[in-house]
Amino acid sequence: MQRNNLRKWSSVFGAAAVVAFAMPSSAQQTKYDFETRMNIESHVGNITGHAKDAKPDYRRYCVGCHGELGDGNGENFPWVDPKPRNFQLGVFKCRSTPTGTLPTDQDLFDSIGRGFDRSNMPQWSTFTKQERTDLVAWVKHFSPRWVGEKPGTPITIPPEPEVTPERIKAGREVFARVQCWKCHGVLGQGDGPSAATLTDDLGRPIAPFNFAEGARPKCGDTDKDIYRIFMTGLDGTPMPSFADNIKPDEAWDLVFYLRTLMSQHSKEKAMAKQLGLKPVDPNAPAGQQ
């Protein structure tokens, strides 16, 4: 009886020890084989995308720039600027998720449909929603990040308040305080003191967005899109996330002020004209714009 008990306990302890020692090494192993990749799915709304279904579309429409291996090194690479995205890295500009996290399937779906202004990526709205969702899964299958890592939690955007002259003025203060003008310039023309030396993560020169030339921001041009751009940052570029340093309410003020810098007609622009708003003064002391 005693002997049996001892035996039982020693085996329990032994098993516990094996588990305790084995854990650190097994936790680091992630399975990433061909099978796992091809079975990657994507979910947009109530549509489910399958990586293997997107292969023909990818090989016909995408491979020229993004390459067979998804490394952005297709045959058009030398002539395309900005350079095609390298899907193997799993780093994306347009996200609803915080900096350093994976985008959601919806984000990738939107990017395919929207295209990227001032680049060679057209709007692929010609694909059906099912095809686009399949392509999202195919884009994901190139990077090991999608195995074992989940997309970040999308940032919360409060409902858009009414535009008022006070909000535009407050937005101007935020523009000055977090020093957007360092790269974008005091008039938003992309000519700030640091603009000339900017490079992307792969060391290639990159220009800050010029608000005044009438272009659309790459990650969408609704007020919500602009809010998202500076609160998540554009990963892979010099544009950082300001989520820790701009409060949600202030962020809307900044969106309204950025509208006044754009050449397109807008309510905000008319208000700024009425206010006689001047560009921020980089040499003014803090809080005295």
The β-bridge partners of 42 are 49
How far, in whole angstroms, is CA 237 from its chain's centroid?
10
Instruction: Count other Cβ atoms within 10 Å, centred on residue 55.
Output: 15
* Cβ proximity to another protein, 64 vs 144, nearer residue: 144
| Residue 7 within binding range of another protein, rule CB under 8 A | yes
Residue with Cβ nearer another protein (45 or 193): 193
Please tell me whether residue 153 binds another protein under the rule CB under 8 A.
no
Segment interacting with another protein, rule: CB under 8 A, options 75-83, 95-103, 116-124, 264-272:
95-103
Nearer to another protein, 207 or 270 (CB): 207
- Contact in structure between 262 and 221 (CB atoms under 8 Å): no
β-partners of residue 49 are 42
**What DSSP character marks residue 48?**
E
Q: In angstroms, rounded to a whole number, what is the distance separating the alpha carbons of residues 289 and 287?
A: 6
**Judged by CB under 8 A, which stretch of 110-118, 194-202, 263-271, 272-280 contacts another protein?**
194-202
Considering the complex, state which of residue 23 and residue 159 has its C-beta at the smaller distance from another protein: 23
Cis amide bond preceding 82, omega within 30: yes
Report the residue from 36, 73, 99, 130 that binds another protein according to the rule CB under 8 A: 99
Q: Which residues contact 93 (CB under 8 A, 6 or more apart)?
A: 218, 219, 234, 235, 236, 237
Q: Provide the token pair at 12.
A: 């329990």
In the set 16, 69, 207, 284, which binds another protein (CB under 8 A)? Answer: 16
Contact residues: another protein, CB under 8 A? 2-3, 6-7, 9-10, 13-14, 16-17, 20-21, 24, 88-91, 99-101, 143-145, 177-179, 182-183, 193-194, 197-199, 201, 233, 235-245, 283, 286
